[in-house]
């Protein structure tokens, strides 16, 4: 005869064996088609828009804040150089970038997704360039595929996520090298110093050349010029990243 502890173990084992994924298989199949539909719609529409620069930053930055106004200026200058502007379509830095694009009569794209603090599309996204995504990973692909450069304004976890992902994709040659500008010397310097001193200097987890991917500045003209000059004189280098 089994003792009480052995019986309990067998009972739990039987319960585990009874668990199944069968009930969600149909739901998973339909989700796959929804994901495919988002990719197809995004590729078909963004293909027609042309070369853009993706601008990232905090959704909580208010109009009148120095970083908000700086973003408007950078977006205007990038449009003057012939680029469209891609943002997440929400408020804050995203709104500022879309505003700058519209003020300069450029292409203003919003890749929208519903988030607790960032609901709805800002008023400066072109009405025919509003995209609504259910899946973060599909949205992230669109940000990267059609960007000829990345501008990172001060932001939170989402901005950090996009920044390190972009650096990783370039570092691992999953996409071609594109210019990356970090705007806000006071904001970014501490992180960059930690990367140099600890990630590289102490742990040797990256190569020194990886830091060459980043250009840090406070100057809007310098930020736009750095991206524009990257493609001179070989304009043929401008193409989707994958």
Per-residue pLDDT tens digits for 228-237: 999 987 665 6
pLDDT tens per residue across span 15-37:
555 556 555 665 677 888 999 99
Q: pLDDT tens digit string along 60-92?
A: 999 999 999 999 999 999 999 999 999 999 999
Residue 134 lies in a domain: yes
Identify whether 11 is part of a domain: no
Confirm whether 236 is domain-assigned: no
Rg (CA), the chain: 22
- Report percent pLDDT > 70 for the chain: 85
Residue 238 has pLDDT above 80, yes or no: no
| 154 pLDDT tier (thresholds 50, 70, 90) | very high
Q: Which domain holds residue 55?
A: 29-230
Calculate the CA 105 to chain-centre distance: 23
pLDDT band at 59 (very low <50, low <70, confident <90, very high): very high
Q: How many CB atoms lie within 10 A of CB 48?
A: 8
Q: The tokens of 167 are what?
A: 């650096």
Question: Which helix or strand (DSSP H or E) is residue 25 part of?
Answer: helix 25-47
Is pLDDT of 162 > 80? yes
Q: Is the pLDDT of residue 131 over 80?
A: yes
Compute how many other C-beta atoms are within 10 angstroms of the C-beta atom of residue 213: 15
How many domains would you assign to the chain?
1
Can you tell me whether residue 149 is helix, strand or coil? strand
Considering the domain boundaries, does residue 96 fall inside one? yes
Q: Specify if 20 maps to a domain.
A: no
- Please report, for the domain that includes residue 95, its CATH number: 3.40.50.450
Token pair listed for 51: 């070369």
Q: Is residue 242, in this structure, part of any structural domain at all?
A: no
DSSP H or E stretch at residue 67: helix 66-80
Q: What CA–CA distance (Å, rounded) separates 199 from 207?
A: 9
Check the CA dihedral 213-219-220-221 and report its sign.
negative
Q: Indicate whether 16 belongs to any domain.
A: no
What is the per-residue pLDDT across 137-146, written as a single tens digit (0 to 9) for each? 999 999 999 9
Q: How confident is the model at residue 14 (pLDDT cuts 50, 70, 90)?
A: low
72 contacts 62 by C-beta, under 8 angstroms:
no
Residue 218 has pLDDT above 60, yes or no: yes
**Do strands 108-113 and 130-133 pair parallel, antiparallel, or not at all (unpaired)?**
parallel
CB 138 within 8 A of CB 154: no
Q: Let me know if residue 181 belongs to a domain.
A: yes
pLDDT of residue 187: 98
pTM of the model: 0.86
């Amino acid at each position: 005869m089994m003792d009480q502890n052995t019986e309990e173990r067998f009972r739990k084992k039987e319960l585990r064996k009874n668990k199944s994924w069968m009930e969600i298989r149909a739901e998973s199949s339909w989700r796959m088609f929804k994901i495919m539909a988002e990719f197809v719609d995004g590729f078909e529409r963004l293909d027609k828009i042309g070369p853009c620069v993706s601008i990232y930053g905090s959704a909580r930055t208010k109009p009148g804040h120095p970083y908000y106004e700086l973003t408007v200026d950078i977006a205007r200058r990038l449009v003057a150089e012939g680029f469209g502007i891609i943002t997440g379509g929400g408020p804050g830095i995203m709104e500022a970038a879309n505003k700058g694009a519209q003020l300069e009569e450029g292409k203003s794209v919003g890749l929208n997704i519903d988030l607790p603090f960032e609901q709805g599309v800002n008023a400066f996204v072109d009405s025919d360039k509003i995209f609504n995504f259910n899946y973060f990973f599909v949205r992230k692909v669109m940000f990267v595929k059609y960007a000829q450069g990345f501008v990172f304004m001060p932001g939170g976890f989402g901005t950090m996520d996009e920044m390190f992902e972009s650096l990783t994709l370039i570092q691992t040659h999953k996409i071609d090298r594109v210019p990356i500008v970090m705007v806000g010397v006071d904001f970014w310097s501490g992180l960059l110093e930690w990367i140099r001193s600890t990630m590289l200097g102490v742990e040797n987890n990256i190569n020194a050349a990886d830091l060459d991917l980043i250009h840090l500045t406070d100057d809007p003209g310098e930020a736009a010029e750095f991206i524009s000059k990257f493609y001179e004189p070989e304009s043929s280098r401008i193409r989707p990243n994958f």
